[in-house]
Each structure stands twice: as C-alpha cells, then as structure tokens.
Chain A
C-alpha cells in the first residue's frame, strides 16, 4: 500500500542519505555515521503510528521476524558474554555489556509500557529498580545510611500510588542524583539505575493521574453486572 505520506517519507530519507553521502565524500568520513538512521527511520515511524504504509499482515510478519532476530541476537551476545566472563574469566568490556543490557532494558520497558500502560509501567519500573538498589545496598554490609538511600525509589513508588506527580518528581530527582552518584563508576550502572528512574519519573510527571482515572474506570466496568 503506497500512500502519499509513504512516498514523501521515502523522498525525505533519500534526500537525507544523499546529503550525508556528499558530506562524507567532500568533508569528513564521520558524516557516514548518521546514515545508520536510514535503516531505522521508517520502522520507527511505523511503530510510532506516523507512517501507515503496511497492512496488518505485513506488520505482523515484520514483528515476528524482528522478534526471531532479537532472540537469536541476544542468545549470541549472551553466549559471548558468558564465554568472556565465566570461561575466560575476563571483564566483559563496555561494548559487550552494552550489547547485552541495552536491548534487554529496552525490551523490558517496551513490554511494560505496551502491556500495562504508562502509570502502571512507571510504577513497575520504580518498584523493580528500588528493590534492585535496596538489595545491593543490603548486600554491601550491615545497616548503614546507604540502605536508606537504596530504599528511596521504593518510597517514591509507594508515594506515587496515591500522589502520582509527587512520587514522579522524587523518582526523577533520585535518577538525577544517581547519575551524579554513580556517574563515575560505569556507563552500565548509569544505564541500569538512573536512566529507568528518570524515564519512570518523567512518565509519572507527564501523566498527572490521567491513567489512574482510566484504571479506575476499567475496574468499575469490570464490576458492573453483565446483561
């Protein structure tokens, strides 16, 4: 199904590619890097609903093949990670760690937001990160002030159950604090702790209780007797 918008998008992508190829040839080869986007612009536009040039079967086939590719890629990366860390007893390195953790994080977040909605997903991420952080704080030793800090995302999540924006603001603040706190440790820690907190906090702040009302109306509908 070729739509006018689809043709415009293809034209824009071609123009974008030509510009960066020319810049790559004439100015600097670093201009080839943005060409990576050419491969992902259309799928991203489709996922965001801005481009509808495929019917439901084509989308279904595309999703299934992407899922298979994701599983196989992750299996391969996980095997490399295990070989490096368990068999060779070496540090996995930044690149391999990013290849393993970033897709898993994105998968988890996308699954949460797709299946549970914005508010519940944000709370789920808050509780998961809070629990994770608290567990590691406890493993660090006996009772110490760090334990209290580790429990704060959990407190923010609990607060957000009743006061969404207040909980979201604390979660966002904790994320920013965590970047400052863990920033020098490694990119992986920053990806695992602060980034999801900032994301969840932003979602709670941006929503301001709209989904809560939707959740309640769903529950009310479920309670109504069927005719």
Chain B
C-alpha cells in the first residue's frame, strides 16, 4: 500500500462560522493564521519523514474549510523542503482557473521537486464556482477542454495557439516544461460517471474520495476499470486511490473521541457556509451533469450526510469508512479496505476539523512505526486492480 498525506489546512480559530456564504472573514485572526500555516507546513514536511509516499495540497476558496486557495504555493514550499515524497496537488480546480497558469505552475513544481509532481486535476466542490464566478453548468466542458490544453502546453514541441470554446490563446510556449515526460502522473476524481470517463481517458490515477459504503466504492472502482479498458488500457492497483479520515491512539475510545470531535467541527463549523452555496449550485445548475446523474449524486451525498446522522460513529468505523482506533486496529482496517476495494493507494486525512496538531503528529508516528510496515505489501502487485466482486 502506498500512502498519501492529505491536509486541508483548516482555520480552527473559530467556534462557529454560521451558514452565510461567503463566510465572513472578519473572524480571521492573522496571528493565528501565521501560526497555523507554519504548523501545517511542518506537518506536511514531517509526513515525508514518517513514510508517506505523497504529500497532498488542495485548492478551496473563501471559507475556513481550507486556507489554500492556491495550493501550488504550499506545494512549492513542500517541494523545496522534501527530498523523496511525491508532491500531490489534488488538485488545482481546473475549470475555474487559467489552464495555462496551471500548466506553468505544475511544470514549475515538477522542476523544483526534481520530477516529483503528481498532478491532480479536480473539478472542485460546488461552492468554488460561486467563489470564482464560473458557471457550474460549464464545469465538465471546461474541465475537458482545459485538460487537453494543459497536456498540449506540456508536450508540444513547437509554439502553438488554441482556439477553443472556453479558452483561446494565440501563442503558447511555456517555460519551464515538466521534468517527467510526456506528462507527470495525473490524479483525477472518479466519483461521477463523466469524471470517471475523463480520468480513464487521460489514464489518470482515480481518486475515490467520497466513500458511501464498500459497495459504492467497489462500483466506482469497477466503473473506472471498465471505462479504462474501453480506452484501451488496464489500470493497476496503483491507479486507484481511496481517501478516508484517520486517527490512531492508544485506545479505540480515545481515537474515536478525537476523530468524532474533529468531524463534528468539520461539518458543523467549517462546512456551514460552503453548504449554503453548495445547495444553490446543486439545486439550480447542472453541476453534476445530466438530471439522472445529478439526482444520483445528490442522493449519494444526502445519504452520506444522513448516514452521519443515522449511523453511529462506531457503525461507520465498522463499515470500513474510516481508519480509527489502535495501531493494530488500523492495520486490520487498511487490510480490509484493500481486500474489499483492491486499491494500491490510500489517502489519509488526519487533520480532520479541529483535531489537535499533537494528535496529528501522534497518528503519523503510529503509522510510521506500526501501520506502514505492516501494510506496505498490500497491493504491491503491478497487476490489474482486483476488487472483491
């Protein structure tokens, strides 16, 4: 198993944020912000020392949910201060930003890190479109066109122009170009049907980042495999990454208390304002594609939220949706996830909501000392990804 360290860099200096969109920033305390940034960056650097294969940065806008509107800035710091780990940008929200800028900054990160960039291309979560005033209806089409343009910018041997639906450039020739040829490895979401098709088309690593249950995860992974075969290639274990929350402590009760509290803060405080914008987008636009697909995904996320309310924390751990407990339990949980889903990569979010930073470090240490050594062998085969049927 290969591990990716996910850290949203949340702003935890508030007790409540309300439901307004955008979240008023008068509560932002600059001094606290400075301290958090420094700590969070150190946590990311430490992730390499504890054995994580990739260190992730991701883009979110206008809320305390995450303090990384431009993850490439943080990625640059991480790239400069690490030697081995992949720099996972998971990712730039391609449809709402300038794709040439993405191509340039990702190329910079690849050069700065000596070829360690893992290029994530995400569509983001719905509120980002309100933040950057881009039509959610256009998000898939923008994503497809931007991806094609970015790959051209990386690989084209001659200066070129682009006449597209959303993007027009008459002369492109980026400096620097990426170190990794023809492209850095790519990560894309594979949650909706269309995003899965796109991930398969670009031979990306599929990010399964919202697990409803094991059946749902299996269905997503199998769909990705099917679409990849239609595109003429066979994904390996390494082409599937599942994301879960993680907390490890000396006892299950302590880990539960920490993670449950962090999740409550995450949804109750950090997630308030963005949910307001999200509902507007989901209800009033075709962000999730066709009406059928939209209804399906809406139901999925409603079920996830209601699952949080109707299923106890213990039940959700039992279902395999989190890594939570003692180190030994964590080993079992990772093993079960691999057995059930067949993925070769696991993205772990340890800083969930306001989980204390010292607890984050402790979990990292348990992973380094016990969980990683016991689970490295899982999914080592470079053969086809095999989920239980």
Partners in one complex: no
Interface residues of A (CB under 8 A from B): none
